[in-house]
């Protein structure tokens, strides 16, 4: 009887020990991967722009795994679709961080989607890499901005039109949300500082997915018929760009008459549409597929091989993810961990190659250094680069052209550790 009990006890202990080690084995298996969140709209009005960003993240993760992964572990992409629904972005971000336990998230396009997720990243102390040009007026500890601030896109584009096109009248046309409204507020103040009269600035906003542009384009034509050189500065986002440019062509508005410089139209948006009527119109970015460098040629080659589609194009936000992902990898290696606090600190000062032939650096304000390029639309859907800055431009998170922002600076290094330090009062804002 005692032997039976002893055998039973040993068996029970073995089962318990096995369960414990089995559970530990499962945990170890889970710990063998580092999860990376991909938060981009794969449906809805922004899918035209964001789907490619999901694809490039899958490519970058696959390439890193081929190099041996990170910290001896494989990377695993966790892809969700917030479906161009801004509140859903926050829900999906929480799911990625709290449920899927991702180490970092690469995502969002519109500023309203970024604003939606900010409280989640702050509450759960995770990291977001945001790859798209935006309006500035923000610097968050949990966010790294790899797209352009206004001084890295909008301001240089206006300077180009002033100096090279001799533009005197300005149409600021945008989608009705925070990015266009704040950017145009900055541009209006900037234009007035350059001596442009208020009556020479026309501002118009339309909803996401706007399809009927007949009246608006007619108004633009009328505004441009005053005998002064007129241009459109476009912060129109998503699939609304297609009918906008079509209506310009329908009403005979050419680039010679009223050039359009766009901040959200790149190679991906031009793919698959008739670009003939768009030839000569402009876009301001920090990267174009037509950049002639060995680094870019190699990136394009890898992209076409990964997608198995020789017609797939590259664009600026893809390069921003390329830069941001490589910065994150380097910071994790430097920190020796994916712990958010340690990675956030390690990211400042990290430099990695960009695709224009230089190195981009993460600055203490969580913005990066970038060149600024102006491209002219060609019939093949590519851009001929007609102007560029002589070097890299440091992203300015707080605009010097808004009185409330002018005294603010950001520095996330200790001891300041503040995203909106007021140099006039000597205090960190709320």
As a whole number of angstroms, the distance between CA 277 and CA 324 comes to 35
Q: What distance lies between CA 399 and its chain's CA centroid?
A: 19
Tokens of 271: 């793919």
Tokens of 189: 């103040």
- Kindly state which CATH superfamily the domain 33-148+293-371 is placed in: Response regulator (3.40.50.2300)
Q: For CATH 3.40.50.2300, list the domain ranges present in the chain.
A: 33-148+293-371, 154-262
Beta bridge partners of 140: none
Long-range CB pairs of 335-341, under 8 A, 24+ apart, other chains included: 336/71, 337/71, 338/34, 338/71, 338/103, 338/104, 340/103, 340/104, 340/125, 340/126, 340/127, 340/142, 341/125
Architecture in CATH for domain 154-262: 3-Layer(aba) Sandwich (3.40)
What's the CA angle centered on 106, arms 102 and 108, to 5 degrees? Answer: 125
- Model-level pTM? 0.88
Query: Residue 139 in 3-state DSSP?
Result: coil
Per-position pLDDT tens, the chain of length 430: 333 333 333 333 343 333 333 333 333 334 789 999 999 999 999 998 999 999 999 999 999 999 999 999 999 999 999 999 999 999 999 999 999 999 999 999 999 999 999 999 999 999 999 999 999 999 999 999 999 999 999 999 999 999 999 999 999 999 999 999 999 999 999 999 999 999 999 999 999 999 999 999 999 999 999 999 999 999 998 889 889 999 999 999 999 999 999 998 899 888 877 888 789 999 999 999 999 999 999 999 999 999 999 999 999 999 999 999 999 999 999 999 999 999 999 999 999 999 998 999 999 999 999 999 999 999 999 999 999 999 999 999 999 999 999 999 999 999 999 999 999 999 998 5
Q: What crossing angle do the helices spanning 241-250 and 214-223 adopt, rounded to 10°? A: 60
- The pLDDT, as a whole number, for residue 430 is 57
- The pLDDT, as a whole number, for residue 11 is 39
């Amino acid at each position: 009887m005692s032997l039976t009990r002893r055998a039973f006890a040993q068996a029970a202990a073995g089962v318990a020990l096995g369960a414990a080690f089995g559970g530990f084995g499962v945990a170890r298996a889970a710990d063998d991967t580092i999860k990376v969140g991909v938060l981009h709209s794969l449906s809805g009005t922004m899918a035209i722009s964001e789907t490619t960003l999901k694809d490039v993240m899958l490519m970058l993760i696959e390439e890193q795994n081929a190099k041996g992964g990170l910290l001896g572990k494989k990377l695993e992409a966790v892809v969700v679709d917030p479906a161009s629904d801004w509140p859903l972005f926050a829900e999906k971000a929480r799911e990625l961080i709290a449920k899927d336990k991702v180490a970092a998230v690469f995502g969002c396009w519109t500023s309203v989607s970024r604003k939606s997720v900010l409280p989640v990243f702050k509450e759960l102390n995770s990291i977001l890499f945001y790859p798209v040009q935006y309006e500035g007026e923000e610097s968050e500890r949990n966010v790294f901005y790899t797209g352009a601030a206004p001084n890295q896109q909008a301001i240089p584009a206006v300077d180009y039109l002033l100096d090279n096109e001799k533009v005197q009248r300005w149409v600021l046309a945008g989608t009705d949300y925070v990015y266009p409204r704040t950017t145009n507020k900055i541009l209006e103040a900037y234009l007035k500082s350059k001596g442009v009269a208020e009556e020479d600035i026309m501002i118009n906003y339309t909803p996401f997915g706007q399809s009927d542009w007949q009246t608006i384009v007619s108004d633009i034509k009328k505004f441009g018929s005053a005998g002064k050189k007129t241009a459109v500065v476009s912060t129109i986002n998503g699939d609304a760009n297609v009918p906008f440019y079509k209506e310009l062509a329908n009403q005979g508005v050419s680039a010679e008459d009223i050039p359009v410089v766009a901040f959200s139209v790149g190679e991906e948006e031009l793919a698959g549409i008739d670009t003939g009527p768009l030839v000569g119109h402009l876009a301001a970015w920090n990267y174009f597929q037509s950049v002639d460098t060995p680094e870019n040629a190699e990136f394009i080659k890898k992209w076409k091989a990964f997608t198995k589609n020789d017609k797939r194009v590259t664009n600026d936000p893809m390069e921003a993810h390329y830069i941001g992902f490589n910065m994150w990898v380097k910071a994790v290696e430097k920190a020796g961990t994916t712990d958010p606090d340690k990675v956030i600190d390690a990211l400042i000062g990290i430099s990695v190659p960009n695709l224009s032939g230089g190195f981009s650096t993460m600055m203490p304000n969580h913005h990066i250094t970038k060149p600024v390029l102006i491209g002219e639309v060609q019939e093949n859907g590519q851009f001929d680069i007609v102007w560029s800055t002589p070097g890299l431009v440091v992203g300015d998170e707080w605009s010097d052209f808004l009185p409330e922002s002018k005294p603010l600076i950001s520095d996330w290094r200790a001891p300041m550790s503040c995203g909106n330090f007021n140099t006039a009062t000597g205090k960190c804002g709320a």
